[in-house]
């Protein structure tokens, strides 16, 4: 009898993803194709993201064909919407939803919808070594989201309640806007980190804006743009950007610790793969967990794991 696998599909505004986990709940492949963005642009319109996802479907289909010849596909999961809340919708997820439902009909297996955010959380839990036997707090920090959520495990994956987050720009959005203004290629996170590591100058004082579990990041763009205009120093400006975001997340985490002193905090999303920010948080707190870099950015691994769990519980 062939080993069973579970497919996870995620079509975000940045990446076409397909992952596979086995019947032991282990991710055996995490396949990603980054959507192309022209130099000087800050991301993609939804119509363009949908177009590029459709173009990438052939590569995804080849991966699924390869795996289905070796394994027995037991169930499929797909990201159907950004978050687990009423009205959450982005057109790019329609591509993954259509593919998941089509495969379900062709293969005669169940297909399960999940939120993109739940997939990120599951990927972070899986790769960080954290257990899911208790409630926890999660930061989901990326180009499209900067949220703090309270997470309970349930039969449908997660029961998620919003606690706070950014009231204007998302952290990844600020990083990309500032990076593009300095001539970097979108997405700019990795290059910003590399430049910040090279910085030898004193980082200017950061006056962050945090109130309880909410923050504002729009001021960061103006401050960083002014700093770069005055210094023409990409390394210093990059270090300032990460210092500002790191201090903001640490202050939010301090506020959370006051109300939830014993709950672990899991940091998920592409921005949280940044080594500079991660190391600052690890020095400041205990009982904190981070996804491995390959599981931090948009990917289908968490969706495949959620499909495995839901199908196993149903069976």
| 315 pLDDT above the threshold of 70 | no
Contact 27, 46 (CB under 8 A): no
Distance of CA 171 to the CA centre of its chain: 12
Q: What is the pLDDT of residue 132?
A: 82
Architecture in CATH for domain 163-292 = 2-Layer Sandwich (3.30)
The C-alpha atoms of residue 310 and residue 312 are separated, in whole angstroms, by 5
The C-alpha atoms of residue 160 and residue 153 are separated, in whole angstroms, by 9
* Residue whose C-alpha is closest to residue 265's, from 248, 244, 290, 247: 290
| 1 pLDDT above the threshold of 60 | no
3-state SS class at 261: coil
Distance of CA 76 to the CA centre of its chain: 20
Dihedral sign for Cα atoms in the order 208, 209, 212, 215: negative
Alpha helices in the chain (DSSP H): 46-70, 93-107, 116-128, 171-181, 189-198, 218-231, 234-259, 275-284, 293-296, 301-314
Same CATH fold assignment for domains 4-130+296-314 and 163-292: yes
Give Cα separations from 13 to 48, 64, 138 (angstroms): 9, 22, 21
Q: What is the pLDDT of residue 154?
A: 82
- Span 254-280, mean pLDDT? 96
Domain extents in the chain: 4-130+296-314, 163-292
* Residue whose C-alpha is closest to residue 190's, from 34, 9, 8: 34
100-114 confidence digits (pLDDT tens)? 999 999 999 999 999
pTM for the complete prediction?
Answer: 0.94
Architecture in CATH for domain 4-130+296-314 = 2-Layer Sandwich (3.30)
136-165 confidence digits (pLDDT tens)? 999 999 999 999 999 998 877 899 999 999
Contact 237, 226 (CB under 8 A): no
């Amino acid at each position: 009898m062939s080993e069973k696998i579970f497919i996870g599909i995620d079509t975000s505004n940045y990446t076409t993803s397909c992952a596979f986990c086995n019947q032991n709940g282990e991710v055996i492949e995490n396949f990603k194709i980054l959507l192309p963005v022209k130099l000087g642009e800050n991301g993609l319109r939804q119509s363009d993201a949908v177009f590029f996802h459709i173009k990438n479907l052939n590569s995804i289909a080849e991966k699924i064909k390869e795996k289905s010849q070796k394994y027995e596909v037991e169930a499929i999961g797909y990201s159907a919407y950004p978050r687990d809340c009423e009205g959450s919708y982005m057109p790019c997820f329609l591509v993954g939803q259509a593919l998941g439902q089509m495969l379900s009909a062709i293969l005669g297996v169940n297909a399960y919808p999940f939120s993109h955010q739940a997939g990120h959380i599951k990927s972070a839990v899986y790769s960080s070594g954290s257990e899911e036997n208790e409630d926890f707090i999660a930061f989901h920090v990326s180009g499209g989201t900067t949220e703090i959520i309270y997470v309970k495990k349930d039969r449908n994956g997660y029961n998620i309640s919003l606690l706070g987050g950014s009231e204007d720009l998302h952290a990844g959005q600020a990083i990309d806007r500032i990076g593009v203004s300095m001539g970097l290629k979108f997405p700019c996170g990795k290059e910003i980190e590399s430049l910040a590591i090279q910085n030898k100058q004193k980082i200017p004082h950061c006056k962050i804006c945090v109130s309880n579990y909410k923050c504002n990041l729009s001021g960061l763009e103006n401050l960083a743009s002014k700093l770069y205009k005055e210094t023409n120093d990409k390394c210093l400006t990059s270090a300032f950007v990460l210092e500002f975001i790191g201090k903001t997340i640490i202050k939010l985490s301090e506020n959370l610790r006051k109300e939830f002193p014993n709950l672990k905090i899991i940091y998920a999303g592409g921005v949280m793969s940044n080594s500079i920010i991660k190391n600052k948080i690890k020095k400041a707190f205990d009982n904190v967990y981070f996804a491995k870099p390959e599981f931090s950015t948009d990917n289908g691994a968490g969706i495949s794991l959620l499909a495995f769990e839901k199908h196993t519980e149903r069976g």
